[in-house]
A and B are shown apart, each in its own frame.
Chain A
Amino acid sequence: MDFVEYISTPADTTEAEPLVTTLKLTRGRLTGGAVYFPAGPAGTLHVLVRIAGHQICPFNRGQNLRLNDCVFPLSIGIDILEPPYQVDIVTWNDSTLYAHALTISLQLQPRARKNQTLKQILKDMAAEEKAGEKE
């Protein structure tokens, strides 16, 4: 499933006091996504993603994405199996004149059961198969 957020960041929003947009998710595994940078910001619009204070995108802390007129694909691979099921999208804008916007999407593979182990999955599959045979 995809989660999408359109974020407009006002001019003069600094890295020290950035705009933090909380995106509510659900239990599952973040597998990827994309950041859609429109034409215009010319590198003045920055974005990174955190879970609590831990930066997950880009994964190397201290770096961020600041691009123009492109789609940047995200490859994540992080389990969110315990609440709070949310990420913080942190943006700031070096432009002193214009607000700039971007759209970010995150792909999440839902995980319905709390303690879903391989053993439990196999057990469930066997039960389903047995139920199918009865039908």
Chain B
Amino acid sequence: MNYRLSTILDRELHSSDTTKVIDITLADKVSRMVVLYEPLNGAEAEPAAHPAKCISKIELVDGSDVLYSLTGQEAQAADWYSNLREPGNLMCYLNGMTAEMVYNINFGRFLYDPLYNFDPKKFSNPQLKITIDIDGGGCTVASGYLTVQAHIFDQRAVEPVGFLMHKEIKDYAMGAGTHEYTDLPTDFTYRKLFIKSQKYAAGLEYSFGKIKLTEDNDRRIPINHTIFEVLKAIVSNSPKYQEMIITHGPGLANRYYYNTPCYWPIFTSTGWTSSATPQAVNAYEGDGGRFLCCNTTAGNNLSHLCQGYCPHGTVEIPFGLQDDPADWYDVAKIGNLKLDITAGSTMSSSESCQIFLQQLRSYAAA
């Protein structure tokens, strides 16, 4: 068979915060790694956060060389924008049931991309490091299951020229209307730039003012737009992210739950019970990744179809035709590349912003 799904780590129970370090001993080239984490919900309560936050960091390193470094939420957002297809998540908040969070680490433009994939033999000791924050998300979570798999080239011989590298560049506290200047790396070609911020009950249009990308002190300014323009002209090129969310029925007392799309999420909610009990259900807010819900009969579980933009508060800025590497943003000849992000006027130091990149790392330069 040309391709195979290989198990790197069989389903393993964790009941405390830990960083799982896995030596990558695969000989075959890897197109995609799949990290699956299942936080087990405890007693019914308002959730701590989105279940994706139970994985606080995923890193692929070779000694001190960082090949992939994103939080769980960033990993899901980068995966969504790369594949424009939702991962196989199960957003379940019910007690005694697990949520199922899938974090795809994509090394190519698509699954089994023969040109771009991860060749472990090019590195001396690649290690996958997964940091688990047991109660980082979900409802009163005290344990969870971790599984790691890899889509590998089995009998098909491919000669990759590089792989897509993902790295968080900066994580900073915002301020009201303040500028944050970030010098960006100019080592490898950019395929995508991501900017992420979440403020509950506020959409992305309130998080940022303007986004400006400038080369060599304004010699060239490839991007200089308000967040509203970016959302309407760039982000809306992507389809809506949609997911099913299963929650408790909190009754007439409102309760917050967490959702993935953060810009204009809209909910279609109904009962999720074995009996056909008529009831009124309401779900509101959702901007920033948290929604309020209530229903007429406490105890009747609910299902919500959520659709919206910007998963985990992430805005994508793609460069060039995404299937043509020659068309991506070659930054090697730029002396200084600066990103100037203006925060929204209602932001404060309680909110943070993350900048992360998807770059083409060639093996010739490794």
Contact = CB atoms under 8 A, between A and B. Distances in A.
A77 B183 contact: no
B351 interface: no
A84 B169 contact: yes
B185 A83 contact: yes
A83 B129 CA distance: 24
Contacts of A60: 19, 21
Interface of A: 20, 22, 52-54, 56, 59-62, 77-79, 81-85, 88, 114
A85 B182 CA distance: 10
B169 A52 contact: yes
A84 B336 CA distance: 11
Interface in B9-26: 17-19, 21
A62 B131 contact: yes
B183 A84 contact: yes
A81 B336 CA distance: 13
9 contacts: A52-B171, A53-B69, A53-B71, A54-B167, A60-B21, A62-B131, A82-B186, A83-B183, A84-B184
Contact of A62 (B19, B64, B170): B19
Contacts, number: 54
B94 to A, nearest CB: 26
Contacts of B187: 81-82
5 nearest A-B pairs in the assembled complex, by CB-CB distance: A83-B183, A82-B185, A62-B19, A61-B19, A53-B168
A62 B17 contact: yes
Nearest to A88: B171
Contacts of A77: 64
Contacts of A22: 172
B173 interface: yes
A24 B170 CA distance: 13
